[in-house]
């Protein structure tokens, strides 16, 4: 084992010599580039470890995570985020427990009502107003709720666009085209600033939910197109076969079309949800203190003035971590689905 390793290292070194140091010119260029890269790495690490003052991050950790959630209730969002994290790990490992493996999807969906209950309170827990939500909690809430709402809406739109009824088909095409031609920030502005203008004085939709609805309306148009791509790639013969088996319209959609369309559209859907997660940072310029917004508020604290780089590097790494978790989960799901497909 060890021998093979050494020989492979020698081989790769030889390879390296052949590609990078074959003549004088190449050697000089390679050396310069290596010097440049190591200098850059050195400076970065020097800054990260010695120069940067991470106090702006360490003293404000609860703020980044929970916003201005009341301190003695912070276990609630913490429980939610940790359980989401554990569930992700569990999903990746592939649980041994058969019941859980079967109902994994239901457990994931179940985290939404549990999360909402924990965050907003109600029976048995003290109620919390949504203005207290903030930081990573709010970012995750926005992402999860919007994707959960936009998926069914997107599927319905995609099916309507395939419909044989011209009215339904046109309506959904118009909706999709209009939504795709408006920038997301305009939709969010509409949701945050104009909807309250149309509602009567007494009735108010919470601003967090306005954001969630705006995100869902926007993203569902894109999801609809992704799903339509999936639907169109299913050969017509399958529908004919299903018809001849005596399945009705709904059964065909439920058992034949949707499962396959979603599987095909999965990479695109992953893209959407990661994009959605990052787009929630747009809410910072609309006054919601989600992860980016809270970072910008912390920067105004006289104690931490001027520590932009630390805060933004920290925020970037948090965004990177969450996006990576989402991407890894989706890849895992794709692999499992291909295995299932092979079993057909």
Partner 1 sequence: MRRLVTGIVGLAALLAGCATTNQDNSSRLNLIKNRNELICGVSGKIPGFSFLKSDGSYQGLDVDICKAFAAAIVGDSEKIQYRPLTAAERFTAIKTGEIDLLSRNTTFTLSRDSSGGNGLTFAPVIFHDGQGLMVKKESKISSLKDLANKSICVGSGTTTEQNINDAFESAALPYTPIKYQDLNQVVAGYLQGRCSAMTSDRSQLAAARSGFKNPKEHIILDDVLSKEPLAPASDGQDQKLADAMRWVVFSLISAEEQGITKSNIDEKVLIAKDNPQLKPLRRFLGIDGGLGEKIGLSNDFVVKVISSTGNYGEIYDRHLGPNSEVPIPRGQNELYNKGGVHISPPFN
**What is the closest distance, in whole angstroms, from the C-beta atom of residue 40 to partner 1 in the complex?**
18
Give 302-305's long-range contacts (Cβ < 8 A, gap of 24+).
304/55, 304/56
- Identified binder of partner 1 from the candidate list 10, 38, 287, 336, rule CB under 8 A: 287
DSSP string, 193-204: IIHHHHS-TT--
Nearer Cβ to partner 1, position 131 or 336?
A: 131
Interacting residue with partner 1 among 41, 182, 241, 285 (CB under 8 A): 285
**Contacts by 46-53 with C-beta closer than 8 Å and gap 24+?**
48/313, 52/309, 52/310, 52/313, 53/307, 53/310
Closest CA to 214 of 153, 269, 157, 170: 153
Cβ contact 199:205 at 8 Å: yes
Q: How far is the CB of 333 from partner 1 (least distance, A)?
A: 35
Which structure tokens are listed for 16?
């390296």
Residue closer to partner 1 (CB basis): 218 or 304: 304
Q: 35 vs 193, which CB is nearer to partner 1?
A: 193
Question: Using CB under 8 A, which of 157, 286, 292, 318 touches partner 1?
Answer: 286
Q: Establish if 94 lies at the interface with partner 1 (CB under 8 A).
A: no
Residue 260 burial (CB count, 10 A): 16
67 binds partner 1 per the rule CB under 8 A = yes
Residue 125 bridge partners (DSSP):
122
Distances (CA, A) of 335 to 95, 227, 265, 343: 16, 19, 14, 13
Based on the shown chain and the rule CB under 8 A, indicate whether residue 63 belongs to the binding site for partner 1.
yes
**Minimum gap (Å) between residue 65 Cβ and partner 1:** 11
Q: Does 28 bind partner 1 (CB under 8 A)?
A: no
305 binds partner 1 (CB under 8 A): yes
Min dist CB 18 to partner 1, Å, is 43
Residue list 200-219, contact with partner 1 (CB under 8 A): 200-203, 207
Q: Which of 133, 144, 264, 294 touches partner 1 (CB under 8 A)?
A: 294
Binding test (CB under 8 A) with partner 1, winner from 57, 69, 143, 282: 69
């Amino acid at each position: 084992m060890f021998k093979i390793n050494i020989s492979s290292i020698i081989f790769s070194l030889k390879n390296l010599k052949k590609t990078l140091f074959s003549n004088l010119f190449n050697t000089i260029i390679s050396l310069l580039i290596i010097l440049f890269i190591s200098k850059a790495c050195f400076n970065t690490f020097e800054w990260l470890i010695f120069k940067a003052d991470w106090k702006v991050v360490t003293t404000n950790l609860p703020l980044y995570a929970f916003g201005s959630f009341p301190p003695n209730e912070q276990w609630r969002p913490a429980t939610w985020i940790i359980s989401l994290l554990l569930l992700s790990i569990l999903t990746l490992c592939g649980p041994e427990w058969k019941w859980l493996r079967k109902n994994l999807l239901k457990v994931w969906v179940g985290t939404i009502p549990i999360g909402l209950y924990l965050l907003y309170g109600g029976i048995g827990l003290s109620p919390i107003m949504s203005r207290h939500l903030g930081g990573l909690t709010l970012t995750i809430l926005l992402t999860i709720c919007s994707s959960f709402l936009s998926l069914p809406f997107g599927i319905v739109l995609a099916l309507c666009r395939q419909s044989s009824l011209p009215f339904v088909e046109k309506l959904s095409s118009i909706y999709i085209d209009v939504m795709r031609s408006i920038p997301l920030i305009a939709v969010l502005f509409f949701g945050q600033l104009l909807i309250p203008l149309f509602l009567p004085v007494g009735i108010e939709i919470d601003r967090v939910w306005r954001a969630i609805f705006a995100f869902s309306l926007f993203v569902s148009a894109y999801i609809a197109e992704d799903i339509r791509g999936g639907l169109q790639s299913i050969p017509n013969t399958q529908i004919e076969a299903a018809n001849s088996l005596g399945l009705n319209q709904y059964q065909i959609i439920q058992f034949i079309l949707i499962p396959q369309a979603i599987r095909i559209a999965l990479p695109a859907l992953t893209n959407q949800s990661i994009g959605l997660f990052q787009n929630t940072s747009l809410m910072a310029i609309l006054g919601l203190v989600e992860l980016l917004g809270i970072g910008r508020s912390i920067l105004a604290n006289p104690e931490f003035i001027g520590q932009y780089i630390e805060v933004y590097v920290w925020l970037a790494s948090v965004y990177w971590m969450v996006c990576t978790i989402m991407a890894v989960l989706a890849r895992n799901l794709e692999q499992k689905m291909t295995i299932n497909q092979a079993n057909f």
